Amino acid sequence: MSDIFTLGIDIGSTSSKCVMLKNGKEIVGEGVVNLGAGTKGADQVIEQVIEQSGVKFEDIDVIVSTGYGRNSYEGAKKTMSELSCHAKGGTFIFGKVGTIIDIGGQDIKVLKLNPNGQLTNFLMNDKCAAGTGRFLEVMSGVLDVKLEELGELDKKSTEKTPISSTCTVFAESEVISCMAKKIPIPNIIRGIHASVATRVAGLAKRGGLSQPVAMTGGVTKNSGIVRALSEELDCEIKISPDSQMAGAIGAALYAYEEHQKN
Amino acid sequence: MSNTEMVEEKPAKVLLGEIVAKHYQEAWDAKNRGEKVGWCASNFPQEILETMDIKVVYPENQAAAISAKGGGQRMCETAENAGYSNDICAYARISLAYMDVKDAPELNMPQPDFVACCNNICNCMIKWYENIAKELDIPLILIDVPYNDEYEAGDDRVEYLKGQFDHAIKQLEDITGKKWDDKRFEKVMEISQRTGKAWLEATGYAKYTPSPFSGFDVFNHMAVAVCARGKEESAIAFEKLTKEFEENVKTGKSTFKGEEKYRIIFEGIACWPHLRHTFKQLKDGGVNVCGTVYADAFGYIYNNTYELMQAYCGTPNAISYERSLDMRLKLVEENNIDGMLVHINRSCKQWSGIMYEMEREFRERTGLPTATFDGDQADPRNFSDAQYDTRVQGLIEVMEANKAAKMKGEH
């Protein structure tokens, strides 16, 4: 029996992630391109994964797309919401988890799973960018620090500068005034991370936290956020090098299920 | 051909549309005859006005119509330019703008000689109507319904309301020169009862699976329940609607086009500016709305004046959290519900503010999935298509997984 290759493509607001799965079990290619919905990001990242896996495009059995730009990729057989994909991908990565938290570019997702790994409920942020990936992007711009450096700088902090979690623009003004007061950048960054964590934890607590708790999405690369959220929720948060790929993994798994239906 | 036969030949939808058109026309005619015409809050005891044959129009109904036809942003911005905050209810902003510009091609109505306000739905209502009264130098009639922390309004509240009814009647007699008539009041209560019961009986047909109607239909039909509860033709039209639904159940038809895969409660006021989009995403996913608290709110049930006053204390926003929750749980129990979609409506703090806790407990008590989306009852700027679509798709996927698990016997 020949191998089944499925592709999951997660087109977010700021980046495109792609995973090639063999027989619904083994990741044989994965990639990230920092271009989101409405760009060439999806095509570029698929090209990367095809090259990496050695599987020809025409040999891919099913493609499922997810993320903010899921409807813009015409090659997909079906679309799934990033909620279901992060739940499925998270379970694939971590095994049994009760809660998955994903901080995306434009939203925060708290996913509740039952012992079978099925998504039973979810909560998302409302009408505000505070606590989202966009909030972090704005802050890194103001501080003139690369997004990927925030975690390391946080480690150098000596104390936490209080930063508002009410509104991105309020927080931005506060950060600017902190910089004018010559407060060390690492301390401001720690305050920014705490601000995000407060916001995300509020949502997670509202849904009722089931253990174990895992985190998916690109923000998991920021150790400062993971630490701050773990403190705020007063529990351990599982992360993985594959966390950023959870949505794409989930989509590839759904693609495999789709193939098995036929 | 008799009038009765004419009525029988028309579908309920047509009859209901005609009643709303006639309601506005009668207000214009009264105004043109030199009678006093009022602007009235949607849950003001219409029995008083109907008894005295005083014509009123409903700013909330007008605002919903204006926003559904695409004029919401224009009117909201007019009010904001005049100094009203963007945080105020969009119905209020549209109404205050209309008071000012006195023209909306989407739906015009006569200017008021008095305003009749009842705060059983919210307290923003009071300030909105006070402003109109002050600005236009016209009388304000206010019926104050305190929030009910107890399950049912007791004697003290009914007594408080009775005193206000008497005062409002006196005010209206002075303003319009028309007289109160107890016998006519009895008759109006009887007709209103018939209308209320027929309306609730019609919406109650959502208990059938599949439902004989598309849930979004009631958002259109409810205009009559708002504007013309005390008219006999409203009772007749809702009874006709009930018959049509009954027939649909027998023949397996429905106004919901497509397969009804999932049945949800739509929580909150309709998102009028984006009604088409909010409906289409659900319909395309095979989701039918089989329960709303919003539409049923206009079915007042009582058997005497005491119960009438109790009923006006029992509007969705005036009742305790426990009773509100029970209303939702009853819908789940009776209407075979798979999930709930919650409209977090920026305009209506009173309704949406309670929803975070309501949603949490609803999930806990029913085990059903829920999703929230940001929107607004009349300001189109507070809604994002893509955010709505993701949340709805997520909700559908969870309902789908639940059904699959049920079939496997996992639940």
Please name the member of A68, A118, A123 whose beta carbon is closest to the beta carbon of B401: A118
Collapse the DSSP code of A252 into the 3-class scheme (helix H, G, I; strand E, B; otherwise coil) and give the result.
Answer: helix
The residue of chain A with its CA nearest to that of B390 is A81
Contact list, A84 vs chain B (CB under 8 Å)? 394, 397-398, 401
Cβ-Cβ contacts under 8 Å between A and B: the total is 59
Task: Measure the N-to-C terminal CA separation of chain B; round to a whole number of Å.
Answer: 59
- The whole-number pLDDT of residue A256 equals 98
Collapse the DSSP code of B55 into the 3-class scheme (helix H, G, I; strand E, B; otherwise coil) and give the result.
Answer: coil
What are the distances in angstroms from CA B36 to CA B103, B110, B174?
Answer: 20, 10, 11
- pLDDT tens for residues B234-246? 999 999 999 999 9
Which chain A residues in 29-68 lie under 8 Å from chain B, judged by CB atoms? 68
- Concatenate the DSSP letters of all residues of B70-136 into one string: T-HHHHHHHHHHTT--TTS-HHHHHHHHHHHH---TT---PPPSEEEEETTS-SHHHHHHHHHHHHH
Whether residue A15 contacts residue A218, with contact meaning beta carbons closer than 8 Å, is answered with: yes
- The whole-number pLDDT of residue B1 equals 41
- pLDDT tens for residues A8-25? 999 998 899 999 999 999
Please name the member of A84, A206, A208 whose beta carbon is closest to the beta carbon of B394: A84
In angstroms, the CA A255 to CA A185 distance is 44
In angstroms, the CA B183 to CA A247 distance is 68
Please name the member of B363, B367, B397 whose beta carbon is closest to the beta carbon of A80: B397
| Partner-chain contact A116 B410, CB within 8 Å | yes
| Partner-chain contact A126 B393, CB within 8 Å | no
- Concatenate the DSSP letters of all residues of B193-218 into one string: HHHHHHHHHHHGGGGSSS-SS-TTHH
Per-chain mean pLDDT for chain B: 94
- The whole-number pLDDT of residue B221 equals 92
Q: Which amino acid is at B400?
A: E
Nearest-Cα distance to chain B for A217, in Å, is: 17
In angstroms, the CA B206 to CA B245 distance is 9
Nearest-Cα distance to chain A for B374, in Å, is: 6
In angstroms, the CA A146 to CA B129 distance is 53
pLDDT in 10s for each residue of chain B, 411 residues: 444 445 557 999 999 999 999 999 999 999 999 999 999 999 999 999 999 999 999 999 999 999 999 999 999 999 999 999 999 999 999 999 999 999 999 999 999 999 999 999 999 999 999 999 999 999 999 999 999 999 999 999 999 999 999 999 999 999 999 999 999 999 999 999 999 999 999 999 999 999 999 999 999 999 999 889 999 999 999 999 999 999 999 999 999 999 999 999 999 999 999 999 999 999 999 999 999 998 888 888 899 999 999 999 999 899 999 999 999 999 999 999 999 999 999 999 989 999 999 999 999 999 999 999 999 999 999 999 999 999 999 999 999 999 999 888 755
Whether residue B72 contacts residue B56, with contact meaning beta carbons closer than 8 Å, is answered with: no
- Calculate mean pLDDT across residues A24-53: 92
In angstroms, the CA A28 to CA A18 distance is 11
| Partner-chain contact A84 B401, CB within 8 Å | yes
- pLDDT tens for residues B67-93? 999 999 999 999 999 999 999 999 999
In angstroms, the CA B56 to CA B46 distance is 9
Whether residue B47 contacts residue B129, with contact meaning beta carbons closer than 8 Å, is answered with: no
Whether residue B116 contacts residue B40, with contact meaning beta carbons closer than 8 Å, is answered with: yes
- pLDDT tens for residues A56-96? 999 999 999 999 999 989 999 999 999 999 999 999 999 99
pTM of the entire structure? 0.93
The two tokens of residue A240 are: 């993985």
Whether residue B56 contacts residue B27, with contact meaning beta carbons closer than 8 Å, is answered with: yes
- pLDDT tens for residues A173-190? 999 999 999 999 999 999
Q: Rounded to the nearest 5 degrees, what angle is found at the Cα of A172, between the Cα atoms of A168 and A175?
A: 135
User: What's the full length of chain A, in residues?
Assistant: 262
Q: Taking the CB of residue B380, how many other CB atoms lie within 10 A of it?
A: 18
- The whole-number pLDDT of residue A1 equals 64
In angstroms, the CA A73 to CA A60 distance is 15
| Partner-chain contact B387 A107, CB within 8 Å | yes
Collapse the DSSP code of A80 into the 3-class scheme (helix H, G, I; strand E, B; otherwise coil) and give the result.
Answer: coil
Collapse the DSSP code of A213 into the 3-class scheme (helix H, G, I; strand E, B; otherwise coil) and give the result.
Answer: strand
The residue of chain A with its CA nearest to that of B410 is A116
Please name the member of B372, B382, B386 whose beta carbon is closest to the beta carbon of A68: B386
The stretches of B146-260 forming alpha helices (DSSP H) are 155-176, 182-203, 217-227, 232-251
Element (H, E) at A93: helix A82-94
Please name the member of A81, A120, A206 whose beta carbon is closest to the beta carbon of B360: A206
The two tokens of residue B122 are: 């919210």
Task: Measure the N-to-C terminal CA separation of chain A; round to a whole number of Å.
Answer: 16
Nearest-Cα distance to chain A for B66, in Å, is: 24
Region of residue A213 (left: phi > 0; alpha: psi -120 to 50; beta: else): beta
What are the distances in angstroms from CA A38 to CA A15, A47, B363?
Answer: 11, 17, 36
Residue bearing the bigger pLDDT, B309 or A106: B309
Element (H, E) at A64: strand A62-66
Residue bearing the bigger pLDDT, A52 or B5: A52
**Cβ neighbours of residue A34 closer than 8 Å, sequence gap 6 or more:** A14, A15, A41
> Is A82's Cβ below 8 Å from some Cβ in B?
yes
Per-chain mean pLDDT for chain A: 94
The residue of chain A with its CA nearest to that of B357 is A206
Whether residue B299 contacts residue B199, with contact meaning beta carbons closer than 8 Å, is answered with: yes
Whether residue B365 contacts residue B329, with contact meaning beta carbons closer than 8 Å, is answered with: yes
Please name the member of A120, A123, A124 whose beta carbon is closest to the beta carbon of B398: A120
The two tokens of residue B60 are: 């909330």
| Partner-chain contact A83 B394, CB within 8 Å | yes
Q: Taking the CB of residue B260, how many other CB atoms lie within 10 A of it?
A: 18
The residue of chain B with its CA nearest to that of A84 is B394
| Partner-chain contact B397 A83, CB within 8 Å | yes
- pLDDT tens for residues A199-253? 999 999 987 899 999 999 999 999 999 999 999 999 999 999 999 999 999 999 9
Q: CA A60 from chain center: how many Å?
A: 25
- The whole-number pLDDT of residue B8 equals 56
Residue written as token pair 């304000």: B140
- Calculate mean pLDDT across residues A4-10: 97
Nearest-Cα distance to chain B for A56, in Å, is: 31
